[in-house]
A and B are shown apart, each in its own frame.
Chain A
């Protein structure tokens, strides 16, 4: 029985899946299985997975009709045999020591159920472009998780199996296996899962030092989807709110302000000054807490949104370099 299972949801990722699998096979902690969940791909993702599986028997593939990212991860969890279960999307990569770091962390800290790391952002071509997610690693309260999502992206967490089992439920319409991620979400399924872990279990969430994930940022069409992204974030809040109304009464305005600021930064990255200003204004209206907690970042976002709307995308390229990550 492998000690760790790494789940790789794949939907038409043939171009990048090979890199992902090579990075996972090169982990210094080798007692692992890699489960590629082919989520109804119509490209040759399956061929890529099979070719790698032939070279490294630790890789296996399960295939299903498309259910979305959450559905692919849930199928992977159901098939996983490891005591630890990690996730790596099929366009991201793990640094070679990542799994070893999480194994050591979870062994030393038995009350931690979710271990994550920082990430280097990489471009479509797979190269780092100088930005990173460097989240807080310790003393992660539910409030901090809600506002700042230190887990960052879906390719950083490694869970203890028991922590995922504590989240599992079986919807009345589901005949095959449990859900851990909520498959009714097409976005915000990550934060919904992490926040539900924090609000419904006593597992602690903690990070390990180092930028151990390489997270691919898709620069195209960012702005077009921010509306849908905000809608799914709001639905996540509506869903979890009855669990602890006092918590949401207290932290929701600031969390929404951070979410809107994040969407403003994405709009800036895609060159949409009008949308960026709109998000910045709504962020400020929701709560001034980001301005107090992160004055520089908040002020730069405000200034960049204004400058982009006034002067267009040319001069803003310089500012964008200052801005840092598009996804933080």
Chain B
């Protein structure tokens, strides 16, 4: 007889419809993952006290800050014998460069916070390399599990047929995503058949629309709850992010057989795959040249496997990590 599956509680303080929420939906709804453990998600208030919980493993998807640190310390003290995992969804090398005026103080925060956990999970190899290089996490505490969403609908999409003309940008309208650079670059292209489709909402919406004003080839679509339908209407995915811990859109684009142009920062160098075209210089001229080249040279290389093993890898990585932390519980590893 197998013992009962371990109970794994996931704590999240970000309920907005972004990457973290979608990955937690995957954890909660995946039947494969449910074979190994009972995964439950608890939403808590940001920077407020954390509840007492009973579980075999507790996973934090919380955002770390000086304000949240006291709650984390208290939580650790009250759960001294429960294995605690933190998944770092936000912070990266490029995030630090652009958002942290006092870097030494920030590193002190991260070292203190991460030391409260038994394991820290990076969401990409480049992010993990940064955490290790900067001495923020001890190497033996550090794991990498790249996030996934349900990719079946993306894999079912036919590859783009005909000339590549519809460039897509998907994500929050925030300076993080670098859509300002993309709009400036696209405006430099002369091809009247090309179009740029921006999917998402956010604080920069008005500013980006002003940037695009007068160019009818640039279309703002707002947010969609049907990402597969969005992808179906696009030939090429542009991801010019200024920082990105992983980059789910890149994974979805690979699964959909779409070619990718990306800044390649942080996790994007992994999530966009080896066939992506990297535009390392964040300026309109470089992006315009890359787009020009990209649109004129069909067929393009795309991920031939369509990220075939992403979900299985994710399930197996979580199962292995939970097994390591809750070894007393016999587990059924997914076949």
A residues at B contact (CB < 8 Å): 110-111, 139, 141-143, 169, 198-204, 239, 242-247
Bits for B233-254, please: 1 = Cβ < 8 Å to A, else 0: 0000000001000000000000
**Cβ of A234 to closest chain B Cβ, rounded Å:** 15
Q: Which of the four size classes fits the interface of chain B?
A: 20 to 34
**Cβ of A198 to closest chain B Cβ, rounded Å:** 7
Listed A/B pairs (8) with beta-carbon separation below 8 Å:
A111-B134, A141-B102, A143-B101, A169-B281, A198-B97, A199-B98, A245-B175, A247-B98
Residue B256 at the A interface, CB < 8 A?
no
Residue B152 at the A interface, CB < 8 A?
no
Assembled-state Cα–Cα distance A92/B45 (Å):
58
Contacts of A199 in B (CB 8 A): 97-98
- The answer to whether A202 touches B101 (Cβ under 8 A) is no
Q: Given contacts A110-B135, A245-B175, are A204 and B283 in contact (CB under 8 A)?
A: no
B residues at A contact (CB < 8 Å): 93-94, 96-98, 100-104, 107, 130, 134-135, 175, 180-181, 184, 242, 280-284
Assembled-state Cα–Cα distance A200/B280 (Å):
11
Q: Given contacts A111-B104, A200-B94, are A243 and B175 in contact (CB under 8 A)?
A: no
Most buried by B among A143, A239, A245: A245
The listed residue (B103, B180, B283) touching A239 by CB distance below 8 A is B283
Assembled-state Cα–Cα distance A204/B284 (Å):
28
Assembled-state Cα–Cα distance A201/B130 (Å):
11
Contacts of B96 in A (CB 8 A): 202
Assembled-state Cα–Cα distance A300/B180 (Å):
42
Assembled-state Cα–Cα distance A111/B180 (Å):
31
Assembled-state Cα–Cα distance A172/B41 (Å):
49
Contacts of B282 in A (CB 8 A): 242-243
- The answer to whether A142 touches B104 (Cβ under 8 A) is no
- The answer to whether A202 touches B135 (Cβ under 8 A) is no
**Cβ of A143 to closest chain B Cβ, rounded Å:** 7
Q: Given contacts A202-B96, A242-B180, are A139 and B102 in contact (CB under 8 A)?
A: yes
Contacts of A110 in B (CB 8 A): 135
Contacts of B107 in A (CB 8 A): 111
Contacts of A246 in B (CB 8 A): 175
